[in-house]
Structure 1
Amino acid sequence: MKLDLTDRQNQVLQCVIDAKQQKKRPYTKGVVSRMQEKGFQITERQCAYDLSVLARTKGTGIIGMRWGGGRTLWIYDEGCIQEGAA
């Protein structure tokens, strides 16, 4: 399935997938750090927006979890892609 995402959203998605492969579950700030390490200029607000778009887009496998008023944890789950849920 071809996802209709911007280049920046694809890069954010790849950063979350990379974190999953390293057995890490990043918060928004962690994704921003990963993007900046790759040479991309992105603010925390832009990243949070892109992550929320990815979480609402079916087929990305991104899940956002927040406990209370705390930070949002972003999880990549391959099962969500296969089931068509996200």
Structure 2
Amino acid sequence: MAVLQTALLVLLAITSVLLILLILLHKGRGGGVADMFGGGVTSTMSSSGVAERNLNRITIVLGLIWVVVIIILGLFTRFGWA
């Protein structure tokens, strides 16, 4: 079980970094931190709707994987399967 727990921890680290990067790639919707760091300039440029939808889908899937890994690691901790 220790090998599985280590693999899940590595997967958690990878998905965490990828989620941070993908969330930062999203187009600012106006207001908030996006405008503070120049997001207002990029939001006026026309971007592909398909690319934004694909970015949303990838982010959602990675978020679900991240949540499942967290739950499984919590079960390992709770029931002492390590």
The structure in which a higher percent of residues are strand is 1
TM tier relative to shorter chain: under 0.3
- So what's the TM-score if we normalise by structure 2? 0.28
Calculate the TM-score normalised by the size of structure 1: 0.27
Larger radius of gyration between Structure 1 and Structure 2: 2
